[in-house]
Chain A
Amino acid sequence: EAGVAQSPRYKIIEKRQSVAFWCNPISGHATLYWYQQILGQGPKLLIQFQNNGVVDDSQLPKDRFSAERLKGVDSTLKIQPAKLEDSAVYLCASSPSGTANTEAFFGQGTRLTVV
């Protein structure tokens, strides 16, 4: 079974530029998550989708971050404009149903460096 795919693996941009990350979840998984992992910290949820609807985006900085999940499958996360403090690893995860006992499967992440 193919895992969660993310691209690119690495990205370096200058502050105030824009960037987009792509995620392809495990086939059939209804729930998709984007997490931000700053160096030395645990992952923090940015946004959670159930199919193509947003369940939780309370921690998403909506003035600069946006995300969409078209047709309930792939998802993109965009940052515009980027700030230095956005340097982090962006993790995508998916799970079959998103209930409390369901395992989430993570991709390898995209490491973003903002200079």
Chain B
Amino acid sequence: GDSVTQMEGPVTLSEEAFLTINCTYTATGYPSLFWYVQYPGEGLQLLLKATKADDKGSNKGFEATYRKETTSFHLEKGSVQVSDSAVYFCALMVGGTSYGKLTFGQGTILTVHP
């Protein structure tokens, strides 16, 4: 079945450090890929997405590129801020009869210190 694997966490960084959170997937067909973020006390929010191979999603300084050859969708940010502290979830969605069902990874906790 479809699955998403994220790098083990938690991740702790100093402000302005470079961030990478690894994500790989297994899916039948050609999924759309997503990163969702959950800030403390809030619901899940879509951070960025990519719908086909080699697409790059970007938002709020975060980027991720859909790599079909390595089945990966790693999240990166060049300079993190304290306000980026949150839980990040990689997810995939396969179309067809699944009607938009999201399959999530286990989440990665990011803590950024001043």
B38 to chain A, nearest CB (A): 9
Residues of chain A with a CB closer than 8 A to B36's CB: 106
Determine the chain B residues whose CB is within 8 A of the CB of A97 once the complex forms. Answer: 100
Asked if residues B99 and A56 are in contact (CB atoms below 8 Å), the reply is yes
Candidates A4, A42, A45; contact of B43 at CB < 8 Å: A4
- Give the size category of B's interface with A: 20 to 34
Which chain B positions have C-beta within 8 A of A48?
A: 99-101
Contacts of B99 in A (CB 8 A): 31, 48, 50, 55-56, 98-99
Q: Are A43 and B106 in contact (CB under 8 A)?
A: no
Contact A101 B32 (CB under 8 A): yes
- B106 touching A100, Cβ below 8 Å: no
Choose the segment among B11-19, B64-72, B73-81, B87-95 that binds chain A (4+ C-beta atoms closer than 8 Å).
B87-95
- Which chain A residues border B43 with CB–CB below 8 Å? 3-4, 91, 106-109
Main secondary structure of the interface of A (DSSP, over half): loop
Total A-B Cβ pairs within 8 A: 73
Q: Is residue A87 contacting chain B, with contact meaning CB distance below 8 A?
A: no
**Chain B stretch 80-114: residues in CB contact (< 8 A) with chain A:** 89, 91, 93-96, 98-107
In the complex, what distance in Å separates the CA atom of A97 from the CA atom of B95? 12
Q: Residue on A with the closest CB to B44?
A: A106
Flag B14-37 by CB within 8 Å of A: 1 or 0 each: 000000000000000001100010
Binary CB contact string for chain A from 72 to 109 against chain B (1 if under 8 A, 0 otherwise): 00000000000000000001010101111111111111
Interface residues, chain A, CB within 8 Å of chain B? 3-4, 31, 33, 35, 40-45, 48, 50, 55-56, 91, 93, 95, 97-109
State the B residues within 8 Å of A (CB): 4, 31-32, 36, 41-46, 49, 51, 89, 91, 93-96, 98-107
Cross-chain pairs A/B with CB under 8 angstroms, 25 sampled = A3-B43, A40-B106, A42-B91, A42-B104, A42-B106, A43-B104, A44-B104, A45-B102, A48-B100, A50-B99, A91-B43, A97-B100, A98-B100, A99-B99, A100-B32, A100-B95, A100-B98, A101-B49, A104-B46, A106-B36, A106-B44, A106-B45, A107-B43, A108-B41, A108-B43
